[in-house]
Amino acid sequence: MTQHLTIEQMRDIAVAALEDIKGEDILVLDTTKLTAMFECMIVASGNSNRQVKALANSAREKLKEAGAEILGMEGDVTGEWVLVDAGPLIIHVMLPAVRDYYNIEQLWGGQKPTFNPTRPWEAAIQAHDDPAGKA
């Protein structure tokens, strides 16, 4: 039997489950003004494929135990990026390099974590724009 959970309850259960497995850089985004597909997105990182899978599985199981309907889970074979679809709540768990590359939190209005504080391409752009270095 599925009980009705509020989005806040689902969010809190998922975040606690991610914290239990030592998820890192957990970011919660309210997407109600951005899409009608879901209300909340959680993005988190794990340090290995095994941890990414464990984080996503923990969130899925805790939500299920609380009565949430899990619509699907993808990516759990490789464990580089696992998505848990709980209807109004979407959870993305990724390896840091994958998260940095796809930068989905910024696409959805969040702040990108700083995995790579130095960006060599910025220096290349500046050199291209001002080859004499007079800027």
Give the neighbor-by-neighbor strand order of the sheet with 40-45: 24-30, 40-45, 89-94, 81-86, 72-74
List the domain boundaries for the chain. Answer: 7-129
Is residue 29 within 8 A of residue 41, CB to CB? The reply is yes
pTM of the entire structure? 0.76
What is the predicted pLDDT for the residue at 36? 67
93's enclosing H/E stretch is strand 89-94
Q: Dump pLDDT digits (tens) for 40-64.
A: 899 999 999 999 999 999 999 999 9
Per the model's pLDDT, the better-predicted residue between 13 and 37 turns out to be 13
Please tell me the least confidently modeled range out of 26-40, 51-65, 81-95: 26-40
Region 7-129: CATH code: 3.30.460.10
String of b and e for 83-96 (b: at least 16 CB within 10 Å)? ebbbbbbbbbbbbb
Is residue 89 within 8 A of residue 14, CB to CB? The reply is yes
